[in-house]
C-alpha cells in the first residue's frame, strides 16, 4: 500500500509556505551543477520549471514530443490568468482567491496547496510582465483585468484572446535563454515512453524519437513530469490532437498513484459537433460570458426558428434565472449541467438540438460592435471560420465539451509523487483544483508550479542524494523498461487487424462521453466498465498500424497513446463509480438536491482517492488522503 | 442554422507530395476524396483519406498538426502553391472544404525552404526557428527578480502594437512564401515585440544583432521586399515590422562599431 504523506507544513495557513521554504534543505551552489534533472514537457509548467532550475545552476535536460517547446498545448489557452493583485481595488485578496478556488473546487482540494497558489499568483504576473508578455493595458498604461466564472472580482489578466500563447512564449523565451546559455539541453520530437525506477526512486526515463524511431535511455537524479492533461481519453475535446496521457500513465504503472481520475471538466462554451468526421472541438473562451448572454427558447416549438424572430419574452436566460448573483458567470460545472438540462428538455437549438445561444446583441447595443470586437475579435473570427456564421449578427451556438482534467498523478505539498524523486507539475498533477477548476486558474497553477514551487522544493530531495550517485543507463532497470517499450511497439505493429486507430479512439470516446460525461449513474458506469475492456480486446486484436517503428510513424504514435487511454478510461470510470457522491464536475445523478445541485458526502468522501497499480489484470488499490479543512468551513456551494 | 452548404457534398482529387524520408526522392501521388461535408476542415479530410489508406494497407500521409485552431503553428501545408492555402489570415488547419469547388484538383506539398528539410511526406524540420530565439529572443530576467508589474506602465497603443507582433505563431509560412527563404518577418516580429516594450530596451541592440546573425548563419536568405511573407502569415503580422527591425539593426551596428567594446554587445545569451 502506498504511503501518502501530504507533508503539509504545520502552523497557520498563511505562514505555511514561508515557513516551509525556510525549513527545506538546500543544495549548495557548487553542488547544483552535479545534479541532472530530467524535465518532461515544456508547456507552461515544464518550460518555467526547466528555465528556473537551470538558472539556479542545476543541469537540466528537457524533453518534448512536439517539434518545438512553443507548440505545447498551453499555447491555445485563450481567456486569461488569475492573480490576487487587487489592482482594481474591488475587494480582492490572497484569501479571497484562495477561498474562491477552494469553493469552486467543491471542497475537494488541499487547503495548503491552494493557499500557496493564491500567494504566488501575484509574483507570476510580475515575472511575466518583466519578460515582456504584452498583457492588455488601460489607457493609463497599467494592467487591465476582466472577470471569469466563479468570482465576483476582476482578477483575470489577459492578452487579447491569446493569453496562453503569450504566457507560453514568455516561458519559452526564458527556456530559450537558458538553452542558449547551455543550462538546458533540449530534446524535441522525443516522447517519454517509460519511467525507470531504481530502489524505489525515479532515476530515469525511456524515450522514443518520433522522427527516427530511435529508443533511448536517460538517467537523472530526479524526474519532473509536466506533460499536461488526459482529456483526449474522450476523443473529442478542446485539447490539441496530440495531447496524451502516456507519460503519467506509464509512471502510474511504475507505482505512482493516480488521484481523482474522475474529476474531469466539461466546458460550457464550445462550438457544437457538426459531423462524425469531427476531430476536435473548439472552445469559445469563458471570457465571452462577461458580455454574452446565454439562452434557449422557452418553448420547444421555437427551437428551429431564426433566433432573431424569437421575442424577448419567449427566451429563457436560464443561468440568469437560476443563479441571479453569478448569472452567466456561474462556474463551469454548473453552467454545463444547466445547458445539458435545457437540451434534455428538448429546448436545445441548432441542427442536432445540442446547442444553446450565446448572444451578444445586448452588449453590442450597449457598447457598440467595435468594443466587442476589440475585446473578443479573434474569438468571433474563429467562430466564423468554423461555422461560417457571423456572431455579431446572429447569436453563437455553443455546447459543453471535454476540456480539462483536475485529476492526475498524486503529489505531496512539494509536488513529489509517492515515488521519491518523481515530481509532477501543471495539469498532469491532481493538486489544486479539487473537483472543479475555475477559469483562468490552470495557467496560474502551471506557472506557479514551475516558476515558484518546484525551485523551492526539489532541493529537499536532492540534498539527500549524493552528487554523482545517479545510476548508469546500463542498469538492469533501464533495460527492463526499454524492453517494455519495445514490446508494446512490436505488439501493436504485428496485430493482423483491419481498423485504423481512429476507429477505436472514437468508440472509446463515445463510451466515456455517454456514461462518464456530464452526468453519471451507477448503471451507466457499470456498463462502461464492461464495454471498455471488451473494446480494448477488440482493439488489440483488430487494430491496423501500418508502417515501421524505425521511421516517423504517426499511426504508431497514436496507437501507443490510445492503448494507454483504454486503460486510463477504465480507471476513470472505476473512480467515478466508487465516488458515491456528487461534487463539482463529478455529478452522480443518484446524489443531488431537489433543485439538481451536487450533493456531497463529506463524511464518506472528503478525501482524494489515489489509485495504485497492482499489476496486469489485477484491480487497482484505492488509497485515500483525507482532506482536513483548518481554515475554511465546508459548506454547500451556493452561486444563487 | 448550419452553414447553407452543409447539405451538398463535395468531391475532390488530391495531388499529395509523398516522400518516405529525408534523403529519399519524393513524388506526387493522387488520391480521391469523395462526398465530403463542406464544413469539414482540410485536415479532417486528410484524416478520412488516411483512414481509407490504412484500411487498404497503405501508409497514411504524414502531416503535422496539433491544436487545429490556428495557434500552435504546427500545421504547415502548401495548398495549391500557397502556404496555408487559399485564404488570408488562416493556418492550414483553419482551411475548410467549403473553400474548394466540387471536382477540384488540389495540390498539397510541404513548406519548401532550404532551412526546412523534409522529414517525411508533408512534414519538415523547423528547429532553425528555435535556434534563432535561443540566440537572443528574450528579455533576461531571472525568476523572482521582477518588480511589481504595475511599476512599469506601458502605453495602451504601444502594448497593442507589441501584441500585433507577438502574435506570430512560429509556423514558418513566411519563410516558405519567400523566394529567398528569408526569416525576416519571423525575426522582426520577435525583435519588434520586445523592442517596443520598456522592459526590452536594455538588450534591444544586442538582441537584434544576435538574432539576425543567427538567422544568416542558419542559411535563411535575405529580404528583397516582396512582402509575400506577410501575405502568407496566418496572423497577418505586418511587414512594417521588418522596416522597424532594419532601423534597430543599423543603429545597433553603428553602436557596436563605434562604441567602446563592451561585453553586453557581444550577442548571444
Ligand atoms: C482551448 C483551451 C483554452 C484554455 N484556456 C485557459 C485559460 O484561459 N486560462 C487558464 O488558466 N487555463 C486555460 N486552459 C487550460 C490550460 O491551458 C492548461 O491546463 C495548461 O496550459 C496546461 O499546461 P501544462 O504545462 O500542464 O501542459 P501542456 O501545455 O499540455 O504541455 C505538455 C507538455 O508535455 C509534453 N509532453 C506530453 N507528454 C509527453 C511525453 N510522453 N514525452 C515528452 N513530452 C511530453 C508536450 O510536448 C508539452 O510540451 C485552456 C485549455 C484549453 C484546451
Ligand atoms: S494545427 Fe495548430 S496552428 Fe494549425
**Prediction ipTM score:** 0.95
Per-residue DSSP letter, B61: P
A34 found inside a domain: no
Alpha helices, H only, chain B: 42-55, 127-136, 156-166, 173-177, 184-196, 204-217, 228-232, 240-258
Q: Say yes or no for a CB contact (<8 Å) between B40 and A139.
A: no
A345-349, A385-389, A400-404, A499-503: the lowest-pLDDT one? A385-389
Q: What is the pLDDT of residues A58-86, one digit of tens each?
A: 999 999 999 999 999 999 998 899 999 99
Residues in A touching B159 (Cβ below 8 Å): 134-137
**pLDDT tier for residue B221 given thresholds of 50, 70 and 90:** very high
Whether the pLDDT of residue A465 is over 60: the answer is yes
Q: CA-CA distances (angstroms) from residue A480 to A194, A196, A474? A: 10, 9, 10
**pLDDT tier for residue B4 given thresholds of 50, 70 and 90:** very low
pLDDT of residue A47: 98
A125-134, A324-333, B78-87: the lowest-pLDDT one? A324-333
What are the φ/ψ torsions at residue B148 (nearest 5 degrees)? -55, 135
The verdict on B146 touching A (C-beta cutoff 8 Å) is: yes
Going by DSSP bridges, is the β-strand pair A293-297/A315-316 parallel, antiparallel, or unpaired? antiparallel
**pLDDT tier for residue B158 given thresholds of 50, 70 and 90:** very high
A342 found inside a domain: yes
Burial A495-504 (b: 16+ CB within 10 A, else e): eebebbbbbb
A272-286, A420-434, A604-618, B203-217: the lowest-pLDDT one? A272-286
Whether the pLDDT of residue A352 is over 90: the answer is no
CATH code, domain carrying A329:
3.90.700.10
Q: Say yes or no for a CB contact (<8 Å) between B150 and A142.
A: yes
A367 and A502 together in one domain = no
Distance between CA atoms of A439 and A149, rounded to whole angstroms?
6
Among A residues 569-608, those touching chain B with beta carbons less than 8 Å apart: none
A621 and A486 together in one domain = yes
> Nearest to residue A455, comparing CAs of A39, A10, A5?
A39
pLDDT of residue A98: 98
pLDDT of residue A101: 97
CATH 3.10.20.30-classified regions of chain B: 10-120
Active site residue A332: yes
Q: CA-CA distances (angstroms) from residue A394 to A309, A340, A397, B155, B221? A: 11, 22, 9, 35, 47
Distance between CA atoms of A437 and A440, rounded to whole angstroms?
9
Rounded to the nearest whole angstrom, what is the distance from the C-alpha of residue A541 to the centroid of ligand 1? Answer: 32
CATH code, domain carrying A525:
1.20.58.100
3-state secondary structure A156-171: EECCCCCHHHHHHHHH
Q: What is the pLDDT of residues A7-25, one digit of tens each?
A: 999 999 999 999 999 999 9
CATH 1.10.1060.10-classified regions of chain B: 127-258
A374 and A505 together in one domain = no
**Domain boundary residue among A378, A402, A426?**
A402
Rounded to the nearest whole angstrom, what is the distance from the C-alpha of residue B72 to the centroid of ligand 2? Answer: 5
A493 found inside a domain: yes
Angle of the B240-258 helix axis to the B204-217 helix axis, nearest 10: 100
**What percentage of chain B's residues is helix, strand, coil (to nearest 5)?**
40, 15, 45
Q: How many domains, chain A?
A: 2
**pLDDT tier for residue B261 given thresholds of 50, 70 and 90:** low
User: How many CA atoms lie less than 13 Å away from A228 in the CB half-sphere?
Assistant: 31
Cell 464492461: give the residue: A530
Q: Which residues pair with A225 in a beta bridge?
A: A40, A424
**pLDDT tier for residue A276 given thresholds of 50, 70 and 90:** confident
Q: Say yes or no for a CB contact (<8 Å) between A499 and B55.
A: yes
The verdict on B143 touching A (C-beta cutoff 8 Å) is: yes
pLDDT of residue B41: 96
Whether the pLDDT of residue B265 is over 70: the answer is no
pLDDT of residue B1: 34
Average pLDDT, chain A: 96
Whether the pLDDT of residue B9 is over 70: the answer is yes
Distance between CA atoms of A66 and A189, rounded to whole angstroms?
5
Q: Are A470 and A219 in contact (CB under 8 A)?
A: yes
Distance between CA atoms of B55 and A497, rounded to whole angstroms?
9
CATH class of B127-258: mainly alpha
Task: Look up residue A554 and give its three cell numbers.
Answer: 504517426
A51 found inside a domain: no
Q: Are A67 and A191 in contact (CB under 8 A)?
A: no
pLDDT of residue A595: 85
User: What is the rounded average pLDDT of the residues B232-259?
Assistant: 96
Q: Which ligand is nearest to the CA of A282?
A: 1
H or E, element range at A315: strand A315-316
A487 and A619 together in one domain = yes
Rounded to the nearest whole angstrom, what is the distance from the C-alpha of residue A362 to the centroid of ligand 2? Answer: 33
Q: Which residues pair with A215 in a beta bridge?
A: A208
The verdict on B125 touching A (C-beta cutoff 8 Å) is: yes
Distance between CA atoms of B221 and A334, rounded to whole angstroms?
54
Print the domain residue range for A332.
267-402
- Indicate if ligand 2 lies below 6 Å from the C-beta of B15: no
pLDDT of residue A104: 95
Q: Are A622 and A574 in contact (CB under 8 A)?
A: no
A65 found inside a domain: no
Whether the pLDDT of residue A396 is over 50: the answer is yes
A394 and A489 together in one domain = no
Rounded to the nearest whole angstrom, what is the distance from the C-alpha of residue A76 to the centroid of ligand 1? Answer: 8
Whether the pLDDT of residue B262 is over 90: the answer is no
A492 and A613 together in one domain = yes
Q: Are B99 and B85 in contact (CB under 8 A)?
A: yes
**pLDDT tier for residue A286 given thresholds of 50, 70 and 90:** confident
Q: Which CATH homologous superfamily contains domain B10-120?
A: Beta-grasp domain (3.10.20.30)
Whether the pLDDT of residue A42 is over 60: the answer is yes
User: How many CA atoms lie less than 13 Å away from A550 in the CB half-sphere?
Assistant: 0
pLDDT of residue B2: 37
> Nearest to residue A412, comparing CAs of A400, A401, A403, A423?
A423
Q: Which ligand is nearest to the CA of B70?
A: 2
Cell 497599467: give the residue: A142
pLDDT of residue A636: 86
Residue that wins the pLDDT comparison between B260 and A462: A462
Distance between CA atoms of B133 and A176, rounded to whole angstroms?
6
SS3 label, residue A146: strand
Average pLDDT, chain B: 94
Catalytic residue among A250, A332, A347, A637: A332
- Indicate if ligand 2 lies below 6 Å from the C-beta of B95: no
**pLDDT tier for residue A343 given thresholds of 50, 70 and 90:** very high
Q: Which residues contact A497 (CB under 8 A, 6 or more apart)?
A: A541, A542, A543, A544, A545
Ligand 1 atom nearest the C-alpha of A247 is 41
Whether the pLDDT of residue B131 is over 50: the answer is yes
Q: Which ligand is nearest to the CA of B234?
A: 2
Whether the pLDDT of residue A640 is over 90: the answer is no
Amino acid at each position: 500500500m502506498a504511503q501518502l504523506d501530504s507533508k503539509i507544513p504545520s502552523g497557520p495557513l498563511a505562514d505555511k509556505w514561508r515557513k516551509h521554504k525556510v525549513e527545506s534543505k538546500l543544495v549548495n551552489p557548487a553542488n547544483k551543477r552535479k545534479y541532472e534533472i530530467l524535465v518532461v514537457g515544456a508547456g507552461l509548467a515544464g518550460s518555467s520549471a526547466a528555465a528556473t532550475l537551470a538558472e539556479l545552476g542545476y543541469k537540466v535536460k528537457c524533453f518534448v514530443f512536439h517539434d518545438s517547446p512553443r507548440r505545447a498545448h498551453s499555447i491555445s489557452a485563450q481567456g486569461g490568468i488569475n492573480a490576487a493583485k487587487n489592482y482594481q481595488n474591488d475587494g480582492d485578496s490572497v484569501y479571497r482567491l484562495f477561498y474562491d478556488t477552494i469553493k469552486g473546487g467543491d471542497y475537494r482540494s488541499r487547503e495548503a496547496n491552494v493557499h500557496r497558489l493564491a500567494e504566488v499568483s501575484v509574483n507570476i504576473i510580475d515575472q511575466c510582465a518583466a519578460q515582456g508578455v504584452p498583457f492588455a493595458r488601460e489607457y493609463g498604461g497599467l494592467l487591465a483585468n476582466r472577470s471569469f466564472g466563479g468570482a465576483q472580482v476582476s482578477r483575470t489578466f489577459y492578452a487579447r484572446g491569446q493569453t496562453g500563447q503569450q504566457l507560453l512564449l514568455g516561458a519559452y523565451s526564458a527556456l530559450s535563454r537558458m538553452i542558449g546559455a547551455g543550462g538546458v539541453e533540449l530534446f524535441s520530437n522525443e516522447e517519454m515512453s517509460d519511467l525507470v525506477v531504481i530502489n524505489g526512486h525515479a532515476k530515469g526515463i525511456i524515450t522514443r524519437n518520433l522522427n527516427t524511431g530511435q529508443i533511448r535511455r536517460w538517467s537523472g537524479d530526479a524526474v519532473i513530469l509536466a506533460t499536461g492533461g488526459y482529456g483526449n481519453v474522450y476523443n473529442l475535446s478542446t485539447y490539441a490532437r496530440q495531447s496524451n496521457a502516456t507519460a503519467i500513465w506509464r509512471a502510474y504503472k511504475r507505482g505512482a498513484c493516480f488521484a481523482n481520475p474522475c474529476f474531469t471538466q466539461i466546458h460550457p462554451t464550445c462550438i457544437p459537433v457538426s459531423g462524425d468526421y469531427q476531430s476536435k472541438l473548439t472552445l469559445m473562451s469563458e471570457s465571452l460570458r462577461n458580455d454574452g448572454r446565454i439562452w434557449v427558447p422557452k418553448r420547444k416549438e421555437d427551437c428551429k426558428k431564426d433566433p432573431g424572430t424569437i421575442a424577448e419574452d419567449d427566451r429563457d436566460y436560464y443561468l440568469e434565472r437560476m443563479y441571479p448573483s453569478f448569472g452567466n458567470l456561474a462556474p463551469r460545472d454548473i453552467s454545463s449541467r444547466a445547458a445539458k438540462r435545457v437540451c434534455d428538455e428538448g429546448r436545445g437549438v441548432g441542427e442536432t438540438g445540442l446547442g444553446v445561444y450565446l448572444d451578444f446583441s445586448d452588449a453590442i447595443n450597449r457598447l457598440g460592435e467595435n468594443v466587442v470586437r476589440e475585446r473578443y475579435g479573434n474569438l468571433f473570427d474563429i467562430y466564423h471560420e468554423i461555422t461560417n456564421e457571423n456572431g455579431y449578427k446572429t447569436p453563437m451556438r455553443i455546447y459543453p465539451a471535454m476540456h480539462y482534467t483536475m485529476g492526475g498523478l498524486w503529489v505531496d505539498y512539494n509536488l513529489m509523487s509517492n515515488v521519491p524523486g518523481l515530481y509532477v507539475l501543471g495539469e498532469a498533477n491532481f493538486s489544486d483544483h479539487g473537483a472543479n477548476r475555475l477559469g483562468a486558474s490552470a495557467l496560474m497553477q502551471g506557472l506557479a508550479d514551475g516558476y515558484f514551487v518546484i525551485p523551492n522544493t526539489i532541493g529537499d530531495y536532492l540534498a539527500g542524494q549524493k552528487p554523482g550517485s545517479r545510476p548508469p543507463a546500463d542498469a538492469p532497470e533501464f533495460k527492463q523498461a526499454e524492453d517494455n517499450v519495445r514490446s508494446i511497439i512490436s505488439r501493436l505493429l504485428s496485430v493482423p487487424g483491419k481498423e485504423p486507430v481512429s476507429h477505436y479512439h472514437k468508440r472509446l470516446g463515445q463510451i466515456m462521453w455517454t456514461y462518464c460525461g456530464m452526468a453519471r449513474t451507477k448503471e451507466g458506469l457499470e456498463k462502461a466498465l464492461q464495454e471498455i475492456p471488451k473494446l480494448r480486446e477488440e482493439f488489440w486484436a483488430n487494430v491496423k498500424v501500418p508502417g515501421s517503428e524505425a521511421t516517423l510513424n504517426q499511426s504508431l504514435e497514436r496507437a501507443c497513446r490510445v492503448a494507454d487511454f483504454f486503460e486510463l478510461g477504465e480507471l476513470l470510470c472505476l473512480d467515478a463509480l466508487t465516488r458515491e457522491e456528487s461534487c463539482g464536475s463529478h455529478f452522480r445523478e443518484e446524489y443531488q438536491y431537489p433543485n439538481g445541485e451536487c450533493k456531497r458526502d463529506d463524511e464518506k468522501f472528503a478525501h482524494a482517492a489515489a489509485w495504485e497499480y497492482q499489476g496486469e489484470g489485477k484491480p487497482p488499490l484505492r488509497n485515500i488522503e483525507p482532506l482536513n479543512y483548518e481554515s475554511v468551513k465546508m459548506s454547500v456551494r451556493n452561486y444563487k | 442554422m448550419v452553414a447553407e452548404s452543409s447539405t451538398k457534398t463535395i468531391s475532390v482529387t488530391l495531388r499529395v507530395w509523398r516522400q518516405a524520408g529525408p534523403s529519399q526522392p519524393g513524388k506526387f501521388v493522387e488520391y480521391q476524396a469523395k462526398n465530403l461535408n463542406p464544413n469539414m476542415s482540410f485536415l479532417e479530410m486528410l484524416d478520412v483519406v488516411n483512414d481509407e489508406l490504412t484500411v487498404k494497407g497503405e501508409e497514411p500521409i504524414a502531416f503535422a498538426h496539433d491544436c487545429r485552431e490556428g495557434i500552435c503553428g504546427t500545421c504547415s501545408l502548401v495548398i495549391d502553391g500557397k502556404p496555408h492555402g487559399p485564404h488570408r489570415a488562416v493556418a492550414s488547419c483553419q482551411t475548410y472544404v467549403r473553400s474548394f469547388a466540387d471536382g477540384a484538383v488540389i495540390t498539397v506539398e510541404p513548406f519548401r525552404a532550404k532551412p526546412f528539410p523534409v522529414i517525411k511526406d508533408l512534414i519538415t524540420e523547423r528547429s532553425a526557428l528555435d535556434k534563432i530565439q535561443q540566440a537572443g529572443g528574450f528579455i533576461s530576467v531571472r525568476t523572482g527578480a521582477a518588480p511589481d508589474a504595475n511599476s512599469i506602465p506601458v502605453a495602451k497603443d504601444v502594448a497593442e502594437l507589441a501584441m500585433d507582433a507577438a502574435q506570430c505563431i512560429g509556423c514558418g509560412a513566411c519563410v516558405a512564401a519567400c523566394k529567398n527563404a528569408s526569416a525576416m518577418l519571423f525575426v522582426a516580429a520577435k525583435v519588434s515585440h520586445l523592442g517596443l516594450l520598456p522592459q526590452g530596451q536594455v538588450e534591444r541592440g544586442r538582441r537584434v544583432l544576435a538574432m539576425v546573425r543567427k538567422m544568416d548563419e542558419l542559411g535563411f536568405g535575405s529580404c528583397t521586399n516582396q512582402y509575400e511573407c506577410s501575405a502568407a502569415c496566418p496572423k497577418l503580422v505586418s511587414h512594417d515590422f521588418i522596416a522597424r527591425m532594419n532601423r534597430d539593426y543599423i543603429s545597433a551596428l553603428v553602436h557596436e562599431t563605434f562604441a567602446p567594446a563592451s561585453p553586453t554587445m557581444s550577442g548571444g545569451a
